[in-house]
Amino acid sequence: MKCTDMLAMLNDFVDGTIDPSICAEFERHLAGCNPCQVVVDNIRQTITLYQNGQPYELPAQFRQQLHTALRARWKETHRTADTNP
Ligand SMILES: [Zn+2]
């Protein structure tokens, strides 16, 4: 899996609809890729803050904002790491 593959699946990850088998690949890539870790940590923190003890159901508008925000974050962290495995 490459960083760009991760980016393609981030929406599913945010929405909680990611396939479990893909999720395993996802985690494997994360373990060895710092720029991706930074982005995903950001997402997890944001979701945790939002959840605040409530069921995991993000409103469409919030998801849209999160998708946009994580892409901006992605560009920051991957600006010099385009060729990372
Ligand atoms: Zn990566």
d(CA 66, CA 55): 18
Q: How many angstroms does the Cα of residue 69 sit away from the middle of ligand 1?
A: 17
What residue ranges of the chain have pLDDT lower than 50?
none
CA-wise closest residue to 13 among 38, 34, 44: 44
Q: What is the pLDDT of residue 44?
A: 83
Portion of the chain with pLDDT greater than 70, in percent: 85
Q: What is the pLDDT of residue 55?
A: 60
Q: How many angstroms does the Cα of residue 52 sit away from the middle of ligand 1?
A: 28
Summarize pLDDT for 11-31 with one digit per residue, the tens: 888 777 888 888 888 889 999
Q: What is the pLDDT of residue 82?
A: 54
pTM (predicted TM-score)? 0.69
